[in-house]
Amino acid sequence: MWLIIGLGNPGEEYAGTYHNAGFRALERIAARENVQIDEHCGPALISGKTILGGQSAVLVQPQTYMNKSGEVMALLFLRFDATAKDVIVVYDDLALPLGKIRVRQKGSAGGHNGIKSIVSALGSDEFLRIRIGIQPDRTIGGVRDFVLSPVAKIDRELMDQAEDIAAKAVVTLIAEGVEKAMSQYNGLDLRDTQSRPG
């Protein structure tokens, strides 16, 4: 059973922010698979079981705030008899340019509080992740203010495309493995195609 965990902050005021890219990527998967992420499992909302890439999966949106995302893990592992190797975390990353995504097998939190919390809860940084770049090619103010601000109109198209690619990358990761997903998605730069017609 795969646990696909999208990171974000609960509440309508955060729904359109950069920090909620993980939530939105999962909502795209849910819409495609015709499932709802509306069942409670401790401090998380989960979907019913669905099939992604030919395997069973559950979509998870922690309802803690971002910096406590790891608090959902223990109950999920208990309920689904899962371990860290069954986890894929989808989240925003300010260290990556807007328009890029990165599939990774493991690694440090890189300053991301949601990932720090999950690493702490698991006692390991060895879990699959899909990072959605949110760093625009302009100067931003404070990090916290930026990530919690609504996605700017100028960034919306790239964010939409990146979230869509991240949703597809989840399926590739499950169906074809991490090496294939990395080779397929890590070299993509959506900024290269944005100005082209069609």
The whole-angstrom separation of Cα 49 and Cα 19 is 26
Structure tokens at 55: 């395997």
Model confidence at 196, pLDDT cuts 50, 70, 90, reads very low
Judged by average pLDDT, the poorest of 30-39, 74-83, 102-111, 139-148 is: 102-111
Q: Which residue has the higher pLDDT, 61 or 105?
A: 61
2 vs 123: CA distance, rounded Å: 19
Q: Which of 109-118, 141-150, 170-179 has the highest mean pLDDT?
A: 170-179
Question: Which residues are known to be catalytic?
Answer: 19
| pLDDT bracket for residue 113 (50, 70, 90) | confident
| Domain 2-194 fold | Rossmann fold (3.40.50)
Given this model, what pLDDT does residue 105 score?
86
State residue 117's pLDDT score: 95
pLDDT at 193 over 70: no
CA distances from 112 to 22, 179, 184 (A): 13, 24, 24
Examine the pLDDT at 197 and tell me if it is beyond 90.
Answer: no
pLDDT of 6 above 90: yes
Domain assignments of the chain as residue spans, ordered by start: 2-194
φ and ψ of 96, to 5 deg: -120, 135
Average pLDDT over residues 110-120: 87
Q: 107 pLDDT band (50/70/90 cuts)?
A: confident
Alpha carbons 62 and 97: distance in angstroms, whole number: 25
What mean pLDDT is predicted for residues 144-163?
94
